[in-house]
Structure 1
Amino acid sequence: MVDHVPLYVVGLSKDEPANEILSSKFGAALEKAQQVLSHIIEAKITVEYQNPEGSRTHYDATASVKTSDKTLIYTASGWDILKIADDLSRKLEGELPKHNDNRQRESIRKREEF
């Protein structure tokens, strides 16, 4: 059983919907990454925003994932917090090792003669 990774969202109030969106989407990506990278200690998302009183708000988000040997840092910015959350999650999932389907060539000795 894998322990829950603490995730902190800094820069947004707790009751703001953007906080819940970032926590849920990036938290799901963290759980997926933790199955492979079990040495994750904590994760933090720092959000800065401009023009909160206007009709549109521009967000700059920086996610840092602290592991036992290094710190992974991802950044995203834009007008839509959903796209930013998806972008940060995709960047974290990009760290996961890929399944390699490339097989070696068939040996010349194992070929059938016609």
Structure 2
Amino acid sequence: MSEKIPLYIIGLSKDEPASEILMSKFGDALEKVQQVLSDIIEAKISVKSQNPEGSRTHYDVTATVKTSKRQLVYTESGWDILKICDQLIKKLEREMPKHDDNRQRESIRKRKD
């Protein structure tokens, strides 16, 4: 179709396994959504972690998808970064039906009975 959408992950080190999983999962979702939202310029995932030295880490994740017309921002937080990623992907994929077709509805007045 077209070239890959640039995806940036901020807040996780490159060698962390969750970073690679986020990159592949969200990248696949972007390619899927690109069929409907063809004007995507770039995507950025910002991860803020709280209490990283403890036994559990709480994550606040913000995904920003920049299109030529507007900016889509999705936020999610929780303990499991992979579940957060799945929830962000669901939110992104909800944009698909909104932009599915641009055709006008047939007017009730113009219909022939």
Give the TM-score taking structure 2 as reference length: 0.84
**Contact 1:2–1:35 (8 Å) recurs in 2:** no
Sequence identity (%) = 71
Q: Using the alignment, how far apart are the partners of 1:33 and 1:74 within structure 2?
A: 15
Shift of 1:43: 0.1
Larger radius of gyration: 1
Q: Using the alignment, how far apart are the partners of 1:21 and 1:58 within structure 2?
A: 18
What secondary structure sits across from 2:96 in the alignment? Answer: coil
Question: Residue 102 of structure 1 corresponds to which residue in structure 2?
Answer: none
Which blocks of at least 5 consecutive residues in structure 2 are unaligned? Answer: 101-112
Question: Residue 66 of structure 1 corresponds to which residue in structure 2?
Answer: 66
What secondary structure sits across from 2:3 in the alignment? Answer: coil
Q: Judge which range, 37-46 or 90-99, deviates more.
A: 90-99
Name the Cα RMSD after superposition. Answer: 1.7
Alignment of 1:1-114 (within 5 A): 1-97=1-97
Give the TM-score taking structure 1 as reference length: 0.83
Structure 1 runs of 4+ aligned residues shifted over 4 Å read none
Which blocks of at least 5 consecutive residues in structure 1 are unaligned? Answer: 100-108, 110-114
What secondary structure sits across from 1:44 in the alignment? Answer: strand
